[in-house]
Amino acid sequence: MEMFDCNVCLGLPYAPSVPPDAYIEKAEDLLDRMAFCGINQALVRHIAMEEESPVVGNQLLIREIASFDRLEPSWAILPPQTGELGTPDELVARMKTDGVRALWAFPSKHHYLLTGTTFGGLFEIMIQRRIPLFVSAKERSNGIEGFAMIEALLRDFPKLVLVATDHGCWGEDRLFRPLIERYEHFYIDTSRYELAGGIRDFCDRYGPHRMLFGTGFPEIPMGGAFLTLLHAEISDQAKAAVFGGNLQRLLREVRL
């Protein structure tokens, strides 16, 4: 079974929220950590994309993971109006050159509105090219946060492939399940899905195709989400979909 982690970050943060040596700076060390836990592949971002600037972090990530096939790059977006990452067409052209098939939004730190006014042009292109957007459920924009922010986005762009990561462990099913029912291109990751019996219950209701395996490493140890999914009360076929099949399908469908 291919285990493809959709939520992994490289690099050292300004202010570690866990012990500093829990962070991983180099791609080789990340691969070692993945091998230790038995994870084959990862969709990676660099913390500089969020904490420094996508202008720096996007390219830093490409350089850092260039020699490692098992690490798939993802980039961060900025408002096209400031031109820091070029026009949407230029951004997509660079994604094609560097083999990037997924994007992240960090509206809290990057100080922008994650709305159609700001990103309408880019999101229309992402919908046409089926490029997935990853957003942490901890993010905040336009005075709203978490799933309220995500719903506002999906209401305007229901065909956008959107993956919400890091939903809290203190019970968020009542928040995200209505979005799963309404928006067919909406997915959640499993990094904080610690709920007892949660994966089985979710898959019984919605099938296994709306959930992506993620660990949230290095903030969170890889082993928790991994063992939870490995022994979830769902079929092997369903596990294969969540562990890697769903993410591979989403990335395969991207047309750059």
Partner 1 sequence: MRNPSALAKEFRKYGKAASCPIIDMHGHFGPYQGIYFPADTAEAMMRIMDRAGVRMIVCSSHTALVDTRRGNPEMAEVVAKYPDRFRAYWALNPNYPDRMKEEIEAYPEQKGFVGFKFLSDYHKVAITDDRYGPALEFAQEHRMMILMHTWGNSPYDGPALIEEVAKRYPEVTILMGHSGYGEWDRAIGVARDYPKVYLELTAAYHANGVIEEMVQGAGSHKMLFGTDMPWFTPHYGIGCVLCAAITDEDRHNILHRNAETLLRLRGVNLEEDDG
**Residues at the interface with partner 1 (CB under 8 A):** 17-19, 21-22, 32, 35-38, 169-171, 173-174, 192, 194-198, 200-201, 217-228, 230-233
Rounded least distance, CB 162 to partner 1, Å: 22
- Least separation in angstroms between residue 168's CB and partner 1 is 10
Q: Which is nearer to partner 1, 151 or 172 (CB)?
A: 172
CB 24 within 8 A of CB 218: yes
In contact, 83 and 75? CB cutoff 8 Å: no
Min CB(220)–partner 1 separation in Å: 5
Q: How many CB atoms lie within 10 A of CB 83?
A: 10
- At its nearest, how many Å lie between partner 1 and the CB of residue 105? 24
Q: Is the Cβ–Cβ distance between 186 and 180 less than 8 Å? A: yes
Q: At closest approach, how far in Å is the CB of 159 from partner 1?
A: 28
> Taking each helix axis from N to C terminus, what angle separates 222-230 and 27-37, rounded to the nearest 10 degrees?
40
Q: How far is the CB of 239 from partner 1 (least distance, A)?
A: 12
Half-sphere exposure of 167 (CA within 13 A, CB side): 23
Of 61, 57, 26, 25, the C-alpha closest to 43 is 61
**Minimum distance, C-beta of residue 5 to partner 1, in the bound complex (Å):** 13
Cα–Cα distance between 97 and 61 in angstroms, integer? 14
The 162-165 sheet, strands edge to edge: 75-76, 103-105, 133-136, 162-165, 186-189, 211-212
The three-class DSSP label of residue 133 is strand
Please confirm whether the linkage preceding 218 is cis (ω < 30° from 0).
Answer: yes
CB-nearer residue toward partner 1: 119 or 217? 217
Question: Which has the closest alpha carbon to 100: 123, 128, 71, 79?
Answer: 71
Query: Measured from the CB atom, is 144 or 195 closer to partner 1?
Result: 195
Q: How far apart are CA 177 and CA 48, in angstroms?
A: 32
* Rounded CA separation 172/163 (Å): 15
Q: Which is nearer to partner 1, 99 or 168 (CB)?
A: 168
